[in-house]
Chain A
């Protein structure tokens, strides 16, 4: 293996950008900060492409198996000999793939934002935050131990918080960023406890050792973790389920998904980067990182992952069909697609042909990053043009935004699973894996894929067809080169990424996986997808009253889906009515009367005493001298006659 310590530069360059722009940006780089951030990230992207090339084609493979390499390991916090927290870099197929995805999408978003946020007051701050996010996300994917991943996990959380709240003068953005932070933080508490359980039983934080110890059926650690049980479930399963809760919070899985739609208050490129392509797949990545333990030692936990993923996918798809804010439709679509990735992991087994789900999940992560970032950036271009998020303000835009229109169409075809676009291949693999291992999930996924095609084309036709365009005011075109180039590049990715033989590179055990292509199998999902597309076309291509009629005939269901199945209301009920009344108010009473009472009593006593004796300070110098003299005489008497030394 050649010297690969330069990999540390990939996350450190965006960090340098963050520090530079965060500290000096607003004074010195008012207009150039975008270029600085973008060029640093370009360097990062080139380095990670070089790393990927080296890893996949040169030194990563030993005897046909991709190895987990650790090119850098630093003892960071040493508590005592042998007990330390390390910082390191791990190179394996998924981390290298994520390096490429994160840097590439981030670079596209950096370039796009040059035009999208031009002239903003806090332009340098925006680029500083983007740099912080990219640093944290890259650090997360190359973390070599579970504690390091937790640190970066929180860092992506905070940068997501900062970027959602970028427009901090809008109350809705402030509420959204708080909501995102609190919900994910709540889930992260589960993650932390999970880490503590896993590391307590395995005695290590390092991923390689952890996986080794907890998958080897002979090891004492695994036996201890399986025998210890709480509420009838083994400690190992508890640990993994808690870690998965952390992942589910970050990945917006049901029922912790409520923050994701609100997070759309952030600038659209941020939604593309953080809430579509990179941060929200961190949960999938985490499960994939610990996949051998899930698959070999705790199949129950993996089954939970599968069901949570499938249910989230279906619920989100149903809700997406009714939303009218285009970014919210995309947010629910993201949640649904991440659900796909999750249940693909959930139905997978470790190793060989049965590990297809794992490969499919990572493949879908890869292609989804392309087409979902493209969808968001396209939506950004539309919003930039029309100054509204609402579908009803749009329509007939295909003549005004030709490039956006074509790229958006490609992305929609990709997500709907129409061959030969990227989404088709990854979705086929996922469905195939589900079909072989869990038919229940397979049928849920099949319904979801039909719904996906329907709501994406509902979006597409509502924006670009439907009623004639009502463009008012000044025409400022599509947004120029900086906005169109990322769209075109991502469209190329969304169209062609499916032809990558992914199983050759990424598989659950590192071996080459030849995914066979079954023509007969793909008939059902593609047919459903096309049916969804044509149904959407029938409803939305021309303006008519069919959608309203259908909504009226499905009154109850439509309303429930439109109101997101009342999950937000449920959360509010639990927190406001139950928690606030039963816990919050008694605590407030105790604080007001007992804690504050003690503090106030101290203050009042002091005040009373000072009020009484303040007359002693009369301003008469000679009176002070008299006190002094009396005091001295008193002390003299005391020392001479009473204590008698």
Chain B
């Protein structure tokens, strides 16, 4: 059994990132878009942890960053869900294409 190295983890992270980006651009449902954003954020977290472990094992900066990102992701999720609920109340839909009147 082979020990997974840095490249494996980076590969997974990149995969997750692009799945997230793809989902964000193709889905019209706001909840799914939010989930995609979470995927992107978590891929970044994976990157931080991996670099911390393999490149500078004596330092903790990457871990701290990860914790920050998780905390901010939680706040972001709360805000986003609040926005989505409000949007649903006023538009009776959470389809992003139905909320296009906020423009010039």
Contact = CB atoms under 8 A, between A and B. Distances in A.
Interface residues on B, range: 10 to 19
Contacts of B97: 620
Interface string A601-645: 000000000000011011111100110010000000000000000
B88 to A, nearest CB: 15
Given A621-B96, A622-B96, A615 B104 contact: yes
B9 to A, nearest CB: 21
Q: Is the interface of A mostly helix, strand, loop or mixed?
A: helix
Interface string B2-26: 0000000000000000000100110
Interface residues of A, number: 11
Given A618-B100, A620-B96, A622-B25, 12 more contacts: A619-B100, A619-B102, A619-B103, A620-B97, A620-B100, A621-B33, A621-B96, A621-B99, A622-B24, A622-B33, A625-B24, A625-B25
A626 B103 contact: no
Contacts of A615: 104
Interface in A253-304: none
A55 to B, nearest CB: 78
A618 B102 CA distance: 8
Contact of B104 (A614, A621, A622, A626): A614
Contacts of A629: 21
Interface in A401-444: none
A618 B96 CA distance: 13
A617 B25 contact: no
Contacts of A626: 25
Interface in B64-104: 96-97, 99-104
A620 B100 CA distance: 6
Interface of A: 614-615, 617-622, 625-626, 629
Residue among A614, A617, A621, A626 with most chain B CB within 10 A: A621
Contact of A617 (B21, B24, B33, B103): B103
Q: Which 6 A-B pairs have the closest CB atoms?
A: A619-B103, A619-B100, A614-B104, A617-B104, A619-B102, A617-B103
Contacts of A622: 24-25, 33, 96
Interface in B27-73: 33
Contacts of A621: 33, 96, 99
A615 B103 CA distance: 9
A624 to B, nearest CB: 10
Interface of B: 21, 24-25, 33, 96-97, 99-104
A619 B103 CA distance: 5
A614 B99 CA distance: 18
Contacts of A620: 96-97, 100
Contacts of A614: 104
A618 B101 CA distance: 8
Contacts of B102: 619
Contacts of B24: 622, 625
B23 to A, nearest CB: 11
A626 B33 CA distance: 14
A625 B24 CA distance: 8
Nearest to B24: A625
Contacts of B100: 618-620
A209 B39 CA distance: 86
B47 to A, nearest CB: 14
A621 B84 CA distance: 13
A327 B52 CA distance: 95
A625 B34 CA distance: 13
A65 B25 CA distance: 100
A625 B100 CA distance: 14
B90 to A, nearest CB: 15
25 contacts: A614-B104, A615-B104, A617-B103, A617-B104, A618-B100, A618-B103, A619-B99, A619-B100, A619-B101, A619-B102, A619-B103, A620-B96, A620-B97, A620-B100, A621-B33, A621-B96, A621-B99, A622-B24, A622-B25, A622-B33, A622-B96, A625-B24, A625-B25, A626-B25, A629-B21
B17 to A, nearest CB: 11
A41 B29 CA distance: 80
A112 B24 CA distance: 84
A620 B102 CA distance: 9
A339 to B, nearest CB: 72
A626 B99 CA distance: 17
Contacts of A625: 24-25
B97 to A, nearest CB: 8
B13 to A, nearest CB: 16
A573 B70 CA distance: 81
Contacts of B25: 622, 625-626
A640 to B, nearest CB: 16
B7 to A, nearest CB: 19
Nearest to B21: A629
Nearest to B101: A619
A621 B33 CA distance: 11
Contacts of A617: 103-104
A433 B16 CA distance: 110
Of B24, B25, B33, B104, chain A has the most CB atoms within 10 Å of the CB of B104
Nearest to A620: B100
A506 to B, nearest CB: 79
Nearest to A621: B96
A324 to B, nearest CB: 69
A155 to B, nearest CB: 54
A614 B104 CA distance: 6
A617 B102 CA distance: 9
Q: Which of A614, A618, A622, A626 has the most CB of B within 10 A?
A: A622
Nearest to A625: B24
Nearest to B28: A622
Contacts of B96: 620-622
A620 B25 CA distance: 11
A156 B12 CA distance: 85
A416 B31 CA distance: 100
Nearest to B103: A619
A607 to B, nearest CB: 13
A620 B98 CA distance: 9
Contacts of B104: 614-615, 617
A617 B101 CA distance: 10
Nearest to B27: A622
Contacts of B101: 619
A231 B24 CA distance: 86
